[in-house]
Structure 1
Amino acid sequence: MRALVTGGNRGIGYAIAQGLMARDVDVVIGVRDPENGQRAARELGCGAVHLDLENADTFAPAISAAGDIDILINNAGILIEDSMIHNPDGLRRSMQVMFHAPFELILLCLPHMTAQGQGRIVNLSSGWGAYDEGLEGPGGYGVAKAALNALSHALPRDLPDGVSINAMCPGWVHTRMGGQAAPRTPEQWADTAIWLALDAPAGLTGKFFRDRTEKAW
């Protein structure tokens, strides 16, 4: 079984890759910076492919190099705090990295999942992207995550039998994005992603989770 973890060279993605490998999953991390990615891959003992979510030309070559993907973890994200009005490119970049790119990667991974009759897609989202929590957060971050949530909720109707997709909120995590004041470690919050990838019921799809507990959209 092989998993691709985008943004797997640090933070939550690194912890997810580490946790999956501890469960004997063959992991490949997708990385924007090949040098840093190879360094992280050596530390983890896994593979790495160049995958820049702002450059669609890297998508197909990355999936081809990674091989057949059974588990896709769309983890990579960006946080641009500028006003969407004053910096509209910030919203465009957020949508590309956290909505358009994940969808394109899903399309590239689906042929193998369909042929196998099984596959799991886990989208790292946020409570800031939940209408239930008011679409909070700076800039276009919450808007992009809301779009990712909508995709996670609606796509099951078009996915083949045996392929599931779910979103999860890791909460406020002590990473480069989350900052030093965040109360939880990446390892603590990687747990739900690993659970969705490996242990959640096979028919569970189109849901949103935090701490393995379903939450409102």
Structure 2
Amino acid sequence: MSKDSKVALVTGGNRGIGYELVRQLALNGFKVILASRDPKMGHEAVQKLKESNLDVSFVVMDISNQESIRQGAITVSERYGRLDVLINNAGVYLDENEKLLNIDPSVLEGTMTTNFFGAYHVIRSFMPLMEQQGYGRIINVSSEYGAMSQMSSPGVGAYKLSKLTLNGLTRLVAAEIKGDIKINAVDPGWVSTDMGGPSASRTPKQAARSILWLATIGPEGPSGGFFRDGKQINW
């Protein structure tokens, strides 16, 4: 592999924003690894992208399963020996619009397992690949629902808490990492995907564009920030 072709990995890459992120990274010359927990859907997505001559491969990774993440990291290390860009895009939205204390606790636990612990374990497992080359760009796909101000209004409590803690993780990791490794959180807005529903105002293409600039920022670029459409927003 030539020295200048960077490797990117996108979790939840088989549909919605994730699929569009994979496509746009590949169009921009990245070797892209599409990670998905569903092998059939993952392979189908990769085949579709390969028909457009894009350099995309598949790795099965269920981010609610630590062993699956560990195996994914081993596969990427063996196959590429590096990782330059990591996008934590996979997420779930399990809330019924009830009060947090009234929902079944399993809804909160399941949401945190994927949206928070999933991202945490992925970062932890892939960080060594970035540290060994002293370079990395990590992007956590968050939500404006994760802003502290959103905690003052009721509803969607499990999802809100999961994104609030993802934002906290972003800042903590930014404070801890050394070298030219940057981590940021981004709010893609309300996007017409399976999760966002058909009436959402933004396309996955617009959402991906608002995220991807963080994949190619230089050493002077931001770290530990929360962004929407390239502008910093409040935690």
Equivalences for residues 30-179 of structure 1 within 5 A: 30-45=35-50, 46-67=56-77, 68-82=82-96, 83=98, 84-85=100-101, 86-134=103-151, 138-179=156-197
Per the TM alignment, residue 202 of structure 1 is displaced from its structure 2 partner at its CA by: 4.0
2:7 to 2, 13, 17: 2
For 1:20, the equivalent position in structure 2 comes to 25
- Contact preservation (8 Å) 1:80, 1:139: no
User: Conserved in 2, the CA contact under 8 Å of 1:17 and 1:29?
Assistant: yes
Which residue is 1:198 aligned to?
216
**Matches of 1:179 and 1:192, distance apart in 2:** 19
1:58, distance to aligned residue in structure 2 (A): 0.4
- Over 6 Å off, 4+ runs: none
Identity %: 38
The whole-number CA distance in structure 1 between the counterparts of 2:159 and 2:218 is 28
The letter of the residue matching 1:194 is L
**1:164–1:202 Cα contact (<8 Å) kept:** no
Deviates more, 1:85-94 or 1:122-131: 85-94
Structure 2 residue matching 1:140: 3-state secondary structure: helix
Q: 2:219, 2:152 → 1: CA distance?
A: 29
Work out the CA distance in 1 between the residues paired with 2:205 and 2:108: 29
Deviations 1:81-127 (A, max 9, x none): 13443311111111111111111111111112111111010000000
In 2, distance between residues paired with 1:36 and 1:19?
19
- Cα offset, 1:134, TM superposition: 3.9
In our comparison, the structure showing a higher alpha carbon Rg is: 2
RMSD after superposition: 1.5
Return the alpha-carbon distance in structure 1 between the equivalents of residues 219 and 202 of structure 2.
26
Compute the displacement of 1:54 (Å).
1.6
TM-score (norm 1): 0.95
1:109-152 deviations in whole A, cap 9, x for unaligned?
11121111110100000000101344665240010000000111
8 A contact 1:135–1:142 mirrored in 2: no
Q: Counterparts of 2:120 and 2:95 in 1: how far apart (Å)?
A: 24
Unaligned regions of 5+ residues in structure 1, if any? none
**Equivalent AA in structure 1 for residue 61 of structure 2:** L
Amino acid at match of 1:58: S
| TM-score relative to the length of structure 2 | 0.88
- Label 1:170 to 1:200 Cα distance change in 2 as closer, same or farther (>3 A): farther
Give the Cα–Cα distance (whole angstroms) in 1 for the partners of residues 141 and 149 of structure 2: 17
> Partners in 1 of 2:167 and 2:146 — Cα distance?
7
